[in-house]
Chain A
Amino acid sequence: MELDARVPSTPIEKMWDQHRFDMKLVNPANKRKFDVIVVGTGLAGGSAAASLAELGYNVKSFCYQDSPRRAHSIAAQGGINAAKNYQNDGDSVFRLFYDTVKGGDFRSREANVYRLAQVSVNIIDQCAAQGVPFARDYGGLLANRSFGGAQVSRTFYARGQTGQQLLLGAYQALARQVKAGKVEMHRRTEMLDVVVIDGHARGIVVRNLVTGKIESHAADAVVLATGGYGNVFYLSTNAKGCNVTAAWRAHRRGAAFANPCYTQIHPTCIPVSGDYQSKLTLMSESLRNDGRIWVPKKAGDTRPPSQIPEDERDYYLERRYPSFGNLVPRDVASRNAKAVCDEGRGVGPGGLGVYLDFRDSIQRLGQKVVEERYGNLFEMYERITGEDPYSVPMRIYPAVHYTMGGLWVDYNLMTSVPGLYAIGEANFSDHGANRLGASALMQGLADGYFVLPYTIGDYLAPRMGDKIDTSHPAFADTEREVKGRIDQLLAVNGSRTVDSFHRELGRLIWDYCGMSRTKSGLETALQKIPALREEFYGDVRVLGDGETLNQSLEKAGRVADFFELGELMCTDALDRDESCGAHFREDHQTDAGEARRDDENYSYVAAWEKTGDDWRLHKEPLEFDYVKLTQRSYK
């Protein structure tokens, strides 16, 4: 496998403009002769499917949910970044680019990130035109808030439901194209494999989740917008259905998987309450604008928070990082929370929690203002915990939230399989080793509205007339393999439920490949995961059959792929003998406990190729021509 990122040699400010001119075009009358499959209907998939259909391509769109409007982008709360500089506070495309590269701890590709910052401004325009009800000031213009890792206010938001509103915008654009007959929508349909013919992606095999029927779909290009793999940890802020299967099956068909060990642990989530816990709930990072994070100074202090006097509280982020304070990037905030809990200063049951306190903001701004800003989040917290955050500080703890790693893509967002694209969280490209808050929504929509619609034409233009349909034997072969995997899972008829295996796998990954990692821990995980996988294939119990709606079977297939991915994550984390961003190897930290990079040896994208039962590592070197490599400092 040869990886070529195909980054143009033009200066970065002109690169995307020049590239758009250099790429081949498909003329408007010919676009209707091309079929494009888009899997996933979140911000990236929904916006891509709609935009491609508007251009004239014939699009087939797939989602596992009962409606494209339910993709998990909907749960994003806080906001979306854009370099509009509406606040006159010194923002610019270059600053957003710089903050994102630095926030990612210098492990992302400069060219992609610069383009992301450039198109960020178009996204806000597009969404406002669709009727996304962004927050506004009394003059009727758009309001902004601050997010972690930035010293400017560039985050646009719609109360605490920004993801929902942006997704509904994309969903409505998609609905318009469904009505126009340009998008064929397949709901409750899960992609189970990619069909590769002569080295090119030519279609997919799916399972209709209602009837259980295995079906093939052919196309001229396949776009995966299938999100991240955080659910490998079992407990995460992802929706229950989020999974890696589409990306993993693509990986098994030749798409390199990049930086799988970069997983983001979000600092502000509601702590775990018991073994039955099925998922973790995020409290938006925007809360850190007005909430102050603290723990008692004394270990083992079990007094209720209201009885701990001011001078016995440790506002540890404000103390350690005076200039960024509570708004340090996510990886820094998470590690510090873990550190104070490890010292025995954690609060709440089990000592795995820190306070996020709004007392001072309520005094300063009044309860009404706080309610206006965060009302729905406070309500959600109260529902889950039974505590009122207006009077008792919230308890929060880090939880798995986002995966920076994903399918390797070039500048055009194409994977190492020609004709197969990956966009949004499913690819690895823009966030390096750590993503800044409010940048996921930006990237998903940038890829879908403004990047892929241009770059896909460059691939398709010379392929006019090269038609294949599902009668090609490769489709029957792939269907047979898919059915074989389903039959294998149904045939085990063992004694343990799928969830029990998933929980155990998640615990392993969290313990050994979570917030902090060690060589010996990763080696242990690499012994334990294959052993557990073997037990899974020998003892899992999946009832029912494949010819009907069978939720256990759906889960079993996803967990089977998580086992393989988990192994690759640990392999990647073991290879990366440095700390960077969210990847924290305990033996590589500064005296202050920050991640210490090794730029000389690890300034590369780790792109893994599947080779039989093993993997081969390809290194895409990262060069920094515009951002100076520094030790990140938020002090």
Chain B
Amino acid sequence: MDLTLHVWRQSGPQDAGQMVTYQEEAKDISPDMSFLEMLDVVNERLIEQGKEPIVFDHDCREGICGACGLMINGAAHGPQDRTTACQLHMRHYSDGDEITIEPWRATAFPVVKDLLVDRGAFDRIIESGGYVSVNSGSAPDANEIPIPKADSDSAMDAAACIGCGACVAQCPNGAAQLFTSAKVSHLGLLPQGQPQRYQRVVDMVTQMEEESFGSCSNHRECEVSCPKGISTDFIARMNRDYLIARVKGKTASA
């Protein structure tokens, strides 16, 4: 199939950036290619013409590392449900289609170059408290603490987050509630996470608010765009824990 691509090109954080249209380079695309393989082909052709290839983040190409992230025709990771851009295949497009490709659009994720952004804010949210404080070597036998299967399954549902940032990119407010609540809930649902449960939620929410994310106003676009299907129920759960923590008088750690 032959496509027309409109791709965001921006040489660096200070550059204004612009959309560039590619047609010659996007001909003869096989339906069995992944979306990123299609971009690889375009890049090979650009290099042959002596033009700099399009920069985009990617690594595992099997939907688990969370590195790739493209707004494809305005949708984070493109049109297919529960699918990262690297797992989206060109069989979902037809000859003559026009495709607009942009980087994540969020103040908290500044563009580094072309389609590649800085998601350091996510790491800082985890650093603020997204862990169980247990040193190597100090753990009891793993079967000493039975965990009801349902709790363990729910924790796993939350823990499946890949940290790609689609939730933020799709949110009209650029909010990070889904990402933050997934980690708060993963740990808060397990007995191992109880000792720090309320301090954790206060610390993580505080850090989230210090970054340039927007506020959650229940659009639930995040849940729709999440390639791992993380539920907004976790946001409600986080808000509940946060309220309890505040009532208990917890304040953010220094």
| Residues of chain A at the chain B interface (Cβ within 8 Å) | 47, 50-51, 54, 65-70, 72, 74-75, 84, 86, 122, 124-131, 133-142, 158-159, 161, 164-165, 168, 171-173, 175-176, 178-179, 185, 187, 210, 239-241, 273-274, 276-279, 281-282, 379-380, 383-384, 386, 449-450, 453, 495, 497, 499-500, 541, 543-544, 548-549, 551-552
Instruction: Compute how far the CA of A173 lies from the CA of B141 in the bound complex, rounded to whole angstroms.
Output: 19
> B187: which A residues are within 8 A, CB to CB?
131
B132 x A129 contact (CB < 8 A)? yes
Interface: B55 (CB within 8 A): yes
A130 x B131 contact (CB < 8 A)? yes
Write the nearest CB–CB distance from A28 to chain B, whole angstroms.
13
> B128: which A residues are within 8 A, CB to CB?
179
Contact status of A450 and B136, CB under 8 A, knowing A125-B142, A552-B53:
yes
Instruction: Compute how far the CA of A541 lies from the CA of B33 in the bound complex, rounded to whole angstroms.
Output: 24
B133 x A239 contact (CB < 8 A)? no
The contact string, 1 if C-beta is below 8 Å from chain A, for chain B 81-95, is 011000111010000
Instruction: Compute how far the CA of A77 lies from the CA of B51 in the bound complex, rounded to whole angstroms.
Output: 39
The contact string, 1 if C-beta is below 8 Å from chain A, for chain B 64-91, is 1111000000000000101100011101
Instruction: Compute how far the CA of A75 lies from the CA of B127 in the bound complex, rounded to whole angstroms.
Output: 22
Write the nearest CB–CB distance from A298 to chain B, whole angstroms.
28
B44 x A140 contact (CB < 8 A)? no
Interface: B210 (CB within 8 A): no
Which applies to chain B's interface (DSSP): helix, strand, loop or mixed? Answer: loop
Instruction: Compute how far the CA of A523 lies from the CA of B55 in the bound complex, rounded to whole angstroms.
Output: 39
B65 x A278 contact (CB < 8 A)? no
The 9 A-B residue pairs whose C-beta atoms are closest, nearest first, are: A140-B146, A129-B139, A172-B131, A128-B142, A133-B156, A125-B139, A51-B136, A239-B59, A70-B65
Instruction: Compute how far the CA of A441 lies from the CA of B101 in the bound complex, rounded to whole angstroms.
Output: 36
B136 x A449 contact (CB < 8 A)? yes
A86 x B143 contact (CB < 8 A)? yes
Listed residue (A86, A124, A383) with the most chain B CB atoms within 10 angstroms of its CB: A383
Write the nearest CB–CB distance from B138 to chain A, whole angstroms.
8
Write the nearest CB–CB distance from B233 to chain A, whole angstroms.
17
A66 x B30 contact (CB < 8 A)? no
A-B residue pair count with CB separations less than 8 angstroms: 216
Instruction: Compute how far the CA of A175 lies from the CA of B142 in the bound complex, rounded to whole angstroms.
Output: 23
> B32: which A residues are within 8 A, CB to CB?
273-274
Instruction: Compute how far the CA of A82 lies from the CA of B37 in the bound complex, rounded to whole angstroms.
Output: 38
A74 x B64 contact (CB < 8 A)? yes
Query: Residue of A at shortest CB range from B146?
Result: A140
Listed residue (B59, B123, B135, B139) with the most chain A CB atoms within 10 angstroms of its CB: B59
Query: Residue of A at shortest CB range from B118?
Result: A66
In addition to A70-B163, A552-B53, 12 A-B residue pairs with Cβ atoms within 8 Å of each other are A51-B136, A72-B65, A74-B64, A75-B65, A84-B142, A131-B187, A239-B61, A276-B33, A277-B37, A450-B137, A497-B47, A551-B53
Instruction: Compute how far the CA of A240 lies from the CA of B62 in the bound complex, rounded to whole angstroms.
Output: 10
Listed residue (B11, B41, B123, B142) with the most chain A CB atoms within 10 angstroms of its CB: B142
Interface: B17 (CB within 8 A): no
> B131: which A residues are within 8 A, CB to CB?
130, 172-173, 175-176
Write the nearest CB–CB distance from A508 to chain B, whole angstroms.
20
Listed residue (A165, A185, A273, A551) with the most chain B CB atoms within 10 angstroms of its CB: A551
Instruction: Pick from B34, B123, B193: contact of A175, CB below 8 A.
Output: B123
> A241: which B residues are within 8 A, CB to CB?
59
Query: Residue of B at shortest CB range from A543?
Result: B52
> B61: which A residues are within 8 A, CB to CB?
239-240, 278-279, 281
Instruction: Pick from B37, B130, B139, B148: contact of A278, CB below 8 A.
Output: B37
Instruction: Compute how far the CA of A10 lies from the CA of B42 in the bound complex, rounded to whole angstroms.
Output: 60
> B119: which A residues are within 8 A, CB to CB?
66-67
> A380: which B residues are within 8 A, CB to CB?
62-63, 87
Instruction: Pick from A187, A384, A549: contact of B87, CB below 8 A.
Output: A384
Instruction: Pick from A54, A210, A281, A450: contact of B62, CB below 8 A.
Output: A281
Chosen A-B contacts, 9 in total, with CB atoms closer than 8 Å, are A66-B119, A84-B143, A122-B139, A127-B142, A128-B142, A175-B127, A185-B123, A384-B89, A552-B47
Write the nearest CB–CB distance from B36 to chain A, whole angstroms.
7
Contact status of A274 and B30, CB under 8 A, knowing A70-B59, A131-B190, A136-B147:
yes
Instruction: Pick from B63, B127, B162: contact of A176, CB below 8 A.
Output: B127
B140 x A138 contact (CB < 8 A)? no
Write the nearest CB–CB distance from A245 to chain B, whole angstroms.
16
Write the nearest CB–CB distance from B71 to chain A, whole angstroms.
17
A159 x B127 contact (CB < 8 A)? no
> A54: which B residues are within 8 A, CB to CB?
135-136
Instruction: Compute how far the CA of A119 lies from the CA of B165 in the bound complex, rounded to whole angstroms.
Output: 36
Instruction: Compute how far the CA of A175 lies from the CA of B132 in the bound complex, rounded to whole angstroms.
Output: 11
> B126: which A residues are within 8 A, CB to CB?
69, 171-172, 175
Contact status of A136 and B140, CB under 8 A, knowing A65-B67, A240-B58, A384-B89:
no
Contact status of A179 and B127, CB under 8 A, knowing A65-B59, A70-B66, A383-B89:
yes
B132 x A499 contact (CB < 8 A)? no
Interface: B176 (CB within 8 A): no
Write the nearest CB–CB distance from A324 to chain B, whole angstroms.
28
B156 x A383 contact (CB < 8 A)? no
Write the nearest CB–CB distance from B63 to chain A, whole angstroms.
7
A499 x B40 contact (CB < 8 A)? yes
Write the nearest CB–CB distance from A480 to chain B, whole angstroms.
27
Instruction: Pick from B55, B59, B137: contact of A549, CB below 8 A.
Output: B55
A274 x B60 contact (CB < 8 A)? no
B135 x A178 contact (CB < 8 A)? no
A131 x B59 contact (CB < 8 A)? no
Instruction: Pick from B118, B146, B163: contact of A141, CB below 8 A.
Output: B146
Write the nearest CB–CB distance from B199 to chain A, whole angstroms.
13
Contact status of A278 and B40, CB under 8 A, knowing A130-B192, A131-B132:
yes
Query: Residue of B at shortest CB range from A64?
Result: B59
B148 x A140 contact (CB < 8 A)? yes
Instruction: Pick from A127, A131, A142, A164: contact of B143, CB below 8 A.
Output: A142
A128 x B152 contact (CB < 8 A)? no
B152 x A66 contact (CB < 8 A)? no
A453 x B136 contact (CB < 8 A)? yes
B139 x A140 contact (CB < 8 A)? no
Instruction: Pick from A70, A129, A140, A543: contact of B67, CB below 8 A.
Output: A70
A66 x B57 contact (CB < 8 A)? yes
Query: Residue of A at shortest CB range from B32?
Result: A273
A239 x B65 contact (CB < 8 A)? yes
Write the nearest CB–CB distance from B234 to chain A, whole angstroms.
14
